[in-house]
Structure 1
Amino acid sequence: MKKLDLPIVYSCSGCSSAAQTANTIAIKMDRESVAEMSCIAGVGGDVKSLVRTAKSGREIIAIDGCRLSCSKKSLARHDVGVKHHYVLSDFDVPKKKGEDPDPVLTLNAYNEILVDMKVNVDALS
Structure 2
Amino acid sequence: MDENNNLVSTETTEEQNTNGVKKEKENWYLPYMDKKTKGIEVEERKSPVAVFYCAGASNVGQSTMLSSVKAANEVGYDKAALLCLASISAGLANITNGAKNAKGIVAVDGCPMSCAKKTLEKAGFTPEEHLIVSKDLGISKNFDLNSSTDLGKIKDAVVEKINNIYNK
- CA RMSD, aligned part only? 2.2
Match of 2:139 among 66, 87, 93: 93
Q: Give 1:24's aligned residue.
A: 66
Q: Deviations over 1:80-108 (max 9, x none)?
A: 111110000120222211332434x1111
Across the two proteins, how many residue pairs are aligned to each other? 118
Match of 1:110 among 155, 158, 164: 155
| CA–CA distance in structure 2, aligned partners of residues 98 and 109 of structure 1 | 17
Matching residue's letter, 1:93: I
Please say which of residues 24-33 and 35-44 is displaced more in the overlay. 24-33
3-state secondary structure, aligned to 1:5: coil
Matching residue's letter, 2:132: V
Deviation at 1:64, TM superposition (A): 0.2
Match of 1:70 among 89, 96, 115: 115
**TM-score w.r.t. length of structure 1:** 0.80
Matching residue's letter, 1:59: G
| CA–CA distance in structure 2, aligned partners of residues 116 and 40 of structure 1 | 18
The percentage of counterpart residues that share the same residue type is: 22
Q: Give 2:80's aligned residue.
A: 35
Deviation at 1:7, TM superposition (A): 0.5
Unaligned runs of 5+ in 1: 120-125
| CA–CA distance in structure 2, aligned partners of residues 116 and 53 of structure 1 | 18
Which protein, 1 or 2, shows the higher relative CO under an 8 Å CA cutoff with sep ≥ 6? Answer: 1
Unaligned runs of 5+ in 2: 1-22, 30-45
Structure 2 CA distance for partners of 1:118 and 1:57, relative to 1, 3 Å: closer
| CA–CA distance in structure 1, aligned partners of residues 47 and 91 of structure 2 | 24
